[in-house]
Amino acid sequence: MKRGCCSSRQPITDHAFTVTYDSENHFQVLFQCWGSVWPRVLPYCLFNVILAAILHYSKDGERHDYGYTGKGHSLLTMIVSFLLVSRIGVSYGRYCQVRNSLEKVITSSQQLIHLMSVFTSDNITQNGKEFRHDMAFLTMTQVRCIMCVMDYQNDKVASWDLPEIDPQIAVKLREQLFLNDKTKAFAHHSWISKCEENMRVPIRLALLLRKQIMSQSKKLE
């Protein structure tokens, strides 16, 4: 199962970019080029190896024995246990944060649809019905795209390829993304991935939703 991380930086252009990796392939996680900790950890590893080699070859029998005692294992066990518990706590905290944020999104979407239906309930014309229908559909589309962003690492399905997306909205999204040749020149770096552009879809849909709300003065006349 693949995961993603957005905290790494490309050393040449110093731009942040998404790092994808396969959590089942430990060799790839350790030795991948981007997003690896080896450039920072390797100097300390080399220093420890050189120091251990010097102590090993400089010992003189029982007179100068620079061996290791068993006390370090108990300390190492305590440190590893602390790190394991802290990492589990961080992972669970992130899960709860994402869950609470998703709950807020769904609640806010429901309230937006309800309020828009109540405030425009006096308008029973065809334009009013279409306006309420478009508002509800666009709001639910945004929630569906947010779920698509969260599931992209497993499903590999972009938001503009979802069957629930309106074809006109999908065309607008493809025109505004940095994956096509017309808009690629405006990107801040050339390492644009489909995963990164998929994360921008909910933001673009939020803009379309605001435009839809502002159009009520013309559609509800």
DSSP assignment of 48-63 equals: HHHHHHHHHHH-BTTT
Q: How far apart are CA 122 and CA 23, in angstroms?
A: 55
200: which DSSP letter? T
* Pair 144, 164: CB distance under 8 Å: yes
Phi, psi (5° rounding) for residue 47? -65, -40
pLDDT at 21: 62
User: Cα–Cα distances in Å, from 142 out to 38, 108, 135, 169, 208?
Assistant: 39, 12, 11, 11, 10
Distance of CA 163 to the CA centre of its chain: 23
Tell me what pLDDT residue 77 has: 83
pLDDT score recorded for residue 35:
66
Collapsing DSSP to helix, strand or coil, 193 comes out as coil
Instruction: State residue 183's pLDDT score.
Output: 62
Query: Taking the chain (221 residues) in consecutive chunks of 10 residues, what is each chunk's mean pLDDT?
Result: 43 51 69 72 88 78 63 78 89 90 90 88 84 88 87 82 82 74 60 77 86 78 69
Q: CA 104, 101, 167 angle in degrees (round to 5)?
A: 80
What confidence score (pLDDT) does residue 47 get? Answer: 92
Scored b (16 or more CB within 10 A) or e, 196-210 reads: bbbbebbebbeebbe
Q: Of 101, 207, 202, nearest to 143 (Cα)?
A: 202
In the three-class reduction of DSSP (H, G, I as helix; E, B as strand; rest coil), residue 110 is classed as helix
